[in-house]
Chain A
Amino acid sequence: MATIIIPTPLRKFTNNDARLEVKAGDIQGTIRELTQHFPGLAKHLLDEQGQIRSFLNIFVGDDDIRDLQHEKTVVQDNAVISIVPAIAGGIQI
């Protein structure tokens, strides 16, 4: 099993669980499994087409999946996956 770390803002959708065990596979399958168990996460993780939202960052260990095989990145047993929301803002002009 791999471990997925839920970012603090989204833990209200996972009964405040910060770390969850998921089956090894690939990132797309892992995220899909996660949203099936916790449907409230879906709109924060997936777009209307069911794909991982483009502004979401996902790390396997310390590596951004954009530097690996994106959503096809293989998740090994004992891997630690982190979901990292985009943090941005600023004044209105």
Chain B
Amino acid sequence: MINIEPTARALMLSDALQTFPNECCGFMFGTEDEEGNRIISEIMVVDNAKEGDKTRRFEISPVDYLKAERHASASDRLLLGIYHSHPRHPAVPSEHDRKAAQPYFSYVIISVHDAENTGIRSWRLNENEQFEEENLGFFQFNLS
């Protein structure tokens, strides 16, 4: 189970919409309990460093990755994964996503068609290096 706090979710969706039709990308930080349940409480938006067509590819620079690891260490949070968008495509990992994926990380994918039509799903590599979907939850606040 992976839960994304509202502010983090809003920032991800905003990044995906603003970057459209290019792919956006960034890091996710948070906590993990003993059962492996994750809470994403913070994200770090980074530039898509891919040279060439950014409408169907993303890449994160090594320098940005180093910053993310250092931020996690300094803030006593875990670096739990990566988010990126799939403009005009489903929130399902591609074979290219799978081949480049790291173990342990959650991969949140945001499908963007337009501002009114987005989808968000999360995936993680299993022991056979195949993606399995994670249950994705969002915090609900009762304001009454």
Residues of A within 8 A of B (CB): 5, 7-12, 18, 57, 59, 62, 64, 82, 84-93
A-B contact count (CB 8 A): 87
For chain B, residues 61 to 118, give those with C-beta under 8 angstroms from any C-beta of chain A: 62, 65-66, 69, 72-73, 78-80, 82, 84, 86-87, 89, 93-97, 100-105, 107
Most buried by B among A11, A88, A93: A88
* B94 touching A12, Cβ below 8 Å: no
Tell me if A's interface is mostly helix, strand, loop or mixed. Answer: mixed
Report how far A9 CA is from B103 CA in the complex, Å: 5
- How many chain B residues touch A (Cβ–Cβ < 8 Å)? 34
Report how far A7 CA is from B56 CA in the complex, Å: 26
* A90 touching B66, Cβ below 8 Å: no
Q: Specify the chain A residue showing the minimal Cβ separation from B86.
A: A91
* B97 touching A90, Cβ below 8 Å: yes
Q: Specify the chain B residue showing the minimal Cβ separation from A9.
A: B102
* B89 touching A88, Cβ below 8 Å: no
Say yes or no for B59: interface residue by CB 8 A criterion.
Answer: yes
Report how far A55 CA is from B19 CA in the complex, Å: 26
Report how far A9 CA is from B102 CA in the complex, Å: 6
Contact status of A84 and B100, CB under 8 A, knowing A91-B56, A91-B89? no
Contact status of A82 and B78, CB under 8 A, knowing A8-B104, A89-B96, A91-B86? no
Q: Specify the chain A residue showing the minimal Cβ separation from B23.
A: A90
